Structure 1
């Protein structure tokens, strides 16, 4: 039996919608990253993007445990001296709740061109509505 290696043209990418309401942030993010990479498919090949498209709704209702709401910090730097900006998770949830899930999943994907292409297949929306009805996504329970 020969080792199977998937080709990029032959891989089928399905669309799934995930409801983040009440889900734990890390557990949801790891499952999304797993599916974006395509590791749930038997034809998974490390150097080919075999993953599916994931649409996440209700991003503002993601759950965290303990005191992470005020203790967990998100950092960014503009490049200028002394311009490190830190925002707690609670404040980020008020302004840009989709960034919480995006940051968690992005950290779990490969740090290369393939990982950046996988990341582009994830769409995160605040609220229960999304703009990808035309793709007819299937519901994914995580």
Structure 2
């Protein structure tokens, strides 16, 4: 399954894909997931972030030292780190025994 993310809101694209994956599982069962092809995402840098997420949304991480809270803008991290899309799709899927099999089929170009 090839997914073009250009000029589309990120959350809406991922929610449609997660619904398709869950429908494949519920309609065809385990055999449907095993036969499912890899999901390829491309044109990631052209996706649209709706609202004020470019300015107001941040990722926080802590280094483990005193005063070591790091603040990274969501949009900058989104451009350089492709794992954000993979992680957000993982959070939308159901956490059952086929979760790891589906997780391995997600590819980002």
TM-score range with shorter-chain normalisation? Answer: 0.7 to 0.9
TM-score by length of 1: 0.59
Q: Map Cα deviations across residues 59-107 of structure 1 (whole Å, 9 max, x no partner).
A: 11111111111222334567x46665442221113322x2232122111
Q: CA RMSD in A?
A: 2.6
Aligned partners of 1:66, 1:24: CA distance in 2, in Å? Answer: 10
- Aligned pairs for 1:86-105 within 5 A: 86-96=71-81, 98-105=82-89
Is there any run of 5+ residues in structure 1 with no aligned partner, and where?
A: 1-15, 126-142
Larger Rg: 1
CA contact 2:24–2:32 (8 Å) conserved in 1: no
Q: Which has the higher helix share?
A: 2
Following TM superposition, where does structure 1 have runs of at least 4 consecutive aligned residues deviating by more than 6 angstroms? none
**CA shift in 2, pair 1:30/1:75, >3 Å:** farther
Q: In structure 1, what is the equivalent of residue 94 of structure 2?
A: 110
